[in-house]
Amino acid sequence: MHNSDINVRFAPSPTGELHLGGARTALFNWLFAKHNNGNFYLRIEDTDPTRSRDEYTDQILDALSWLGLNWSEPLIYQSNRFNDYKVHIKSLLSSDQLYHCFCSKDTLTDSKQKGHYQYPGTCRDLEPDDIKTRLNQGISFTYRVRIPEGNTKYEDMIYGPIEVDNKEIDDFIVIRSDGSPTYNFTAVIDDHYMDISHVIRGEDHVSNTPKQIILYEALGFTIPIFAHLPMILGSDGKRLSKRHGAPGVQTFRDEGYLPDSLNNYLALLGWNPGTADELFSFDELVQKFDLSKVQKKGAVWDEKKLHWISGQHIMRTGTDHIIDKLRFNDPNWGKGSSISYLISIIELLKVRAKSLTEFVTQSEYFFTAPSVYDENGLKKAWKENSVNNRIQLLLEKLSKLDSWRKDHLQNSFELFAKENELGLGKIIMPIRLAVCGTLNGPAVYDILELLGRDETLIRINSALKALPK
């Protein structure tokens, strides 16, 4: 299935959309593969028919494609592989490394309540005749692994040597009573079948690894190298989840983040190149990524840091590219305006926007005059009629200006403030509110220059009639 020594995989369950932890795991696998000229495979773990949904599979594939994490073919669906799993069950049964367990759920619950956290081995040594009788009676059963005595150890690429006493490992189930295979079993079979050389996954799988190693040994398979990634934590130090308001990858796409921004931020959750650099293009991440630089302690999700990184990526992105993306997302954006006008708008907003959506919301007043004025803005900038007198006087001055260049506008504002013994804010804030409907945005002189004399004067006149409310 491969022509490389390095093969990794990302193996999501289609029981929900791709969340940030999953995206980070996929990214680290992809970067490791690309850095080492290896293959990155994708496996859909859809063995649970009650919880797996095609729509989630589609969502996961879309999200990975959007992030640029392209996978090598074939794409594996575990639901198509049940026959392959059965073959290996037979070989494990014949070597006595699996056994039938006829214990009902109630029996197992009772056992747990009596303080047995592990399966007490009730069916471990049943006589063959006993097994036959129960099978003939149609009693449902599971298959359990006969955990051998001794220890299981491995060298984790991130956590170093890990050793577990096999007494701490349950005789775990590999086939449920309904005939469906369990995660630990299918993962081993498929990783072997896919020639996976390195299993890179979240630290929450550390407890599964010894079980899987026991299965690798029982089946006579080569054991891959394991690397467990630190958890992503919320600000409260607990594992990041929906309760922290952590959105799925889809949300970031819908909100107009650039995939490079999200990849850059996700890469820094648990990894850094050993330098103070924090901004990387996709190619730079591939070049610098090294699993030995992944830290052991959990990484805290920090939205402010994401916003900063996103803003930096936006500033580095070509204006033409941003316009193309905006037009692709919304063909009506900027319709009817000249391309030079659109370029000027993007150049002005670039230092402020962290996503494509923000370009759209922040550019509204460049295309349409405000029909409403921000409430907080009104309280700060246009409380009473005295503002109208001030702005009326300024309006007369502006309408007589020879030049509408921003430096001339600035001189005019400053001179007017001085002559009338006013703080500059006393005229800038009301003008900004009149022209934009909000007090947020780039420098007011830039906005006025771009809107032009006629449009600016019309908007100021409209505000003089409508305000104060």
Residue 1 has pLDDT above 60, yes or no: no
List b or e across 374-390, with b for residues whose CB sees 16 or more CB atoms inside 10 angstroms: beebbeebbeeeebbeb
Measured in degrees and rounded to the nearest 5, phi and psi for residue 63 equal -65, -40
Cα angle value 384/388/389 (rounded, 5°): 115
Could you tell me if 186 and 81 are in contact, meaning their C-beta atoms sit under 8 angstroms apart? yes
pLDDT digits (tens, 9 = 90+) for 221-244: 999 999 999 999 998 889 888 777
* Predicted pLDDT of residue 3: 57
Strand locations in 86-179 (E): 98-101, 142-145, 151-156, 160-165, 173-175
CATH topology of domain 7-73+187-230: Rossmann fold (3.40.50)
Residue 176 CA, chain-centre distance (Å), reads 33
Q: Determine how many CB atoms are found less than 10 A away from the CB of residue 210.
A: 21
Beta carbons of 88 and 189 less than 8 angstroms apart: yes
CATH class of 84-175: alpha beta
Beta bridge partners of 232: 299
At 244 the pLDDT is 78
In tens, the pLDDT along 123-142 reads 999 999 999 999 999 999 99
pLDDT tens digit string along 80-127? 999 999 999 999 999 999 999 999 988 888 777 777 778 989 999 999
3-state DSSP call for residue 456?
helix
Contact 459, 434 (CB under 8 A): yes
pLDDT of residue 307: 96
What was the pLDDT predicted at 113? 77
Measured CA to CA, the distance from residue 310 to residue 317 in angstroms comes to 11
Structure tokens belonging to residue 155: 């060298």
The pLDDT, as a whole number, for residue 109 is 80
pLDDT of residue 235: 87
The domain 375-466 having CATH identifier 2.60.40.10: the answer here is no
Distance CA 76, CA 7 (A): 14
Residues in the chain: 469
Q: Tell me what pLDDT residue 90 has.
A: 93
Q: Residues 62-75: pLDDT tens digits? A: 999 999 999 999 99
Query: Which among 171, 162, 173, 236 has a CA at the least distance from the CA of 203?
Result: 162
- In CATH terms, the fold of domain 242-316 is Glutamyl-tRNA Synthetase; domain 2 (1.10.1160)
- Please report, in angstroms and rounded to a whole number, the separation of the first and last CA atoms in the chain: 72
Spatial distance between the Cα atoms of 195 and 209, rounded to a whole number of angstroms: 17
pLDDT digit string, tens, across residues 42-66? 999 998 888 899 999 999 999 999 9
| For range 266-285, the mean pLDDT | 95
Residues 6+ apart with CB under 8 A from 346: 319, 322, 323, 359
Query: Which tokens sit at 108?
Result: 């197992």
pTM (two decimals): 0.91
d(CA 51, CA 53): 6
Query: Within 10 Å of residue 334's Cβ, how many Cβ atoms?
Result: 21
> For residues 165 and 210, what is the distance between their CA atoms, to the nearest angstrom?
9
Q: What percent of the chain has pLDDT over 90?
A: 91
Residue spans of the domains in the chain: they are: 7-73+187-230, 84-175, 242-316, 319-363, 375-466
Q: How far apart are CA 172 and CA 166, in angstroms?
A: 12
Mean pLDDT of the chain: 94
Tell me what the mean pLDDT of segment 316-342 comes to: 95
User: Are 7-73+187-230 and 375-466 in the same CATH fold?
Assistant: no
**238 in Cβ contact with 204 (< 8 Å):** no
pLDDT at 246: 79
pLDDT at 367: 97
Give the mean model confidence (pLDDT) for residues 355-382. Answer: 95
Give per-residue pLDDT as tens, 416-458.
Answer: 999 999 999 999 999 999 999 999 999 999 999 999 999 999 9
Mean pLDDT of 150-176: 96
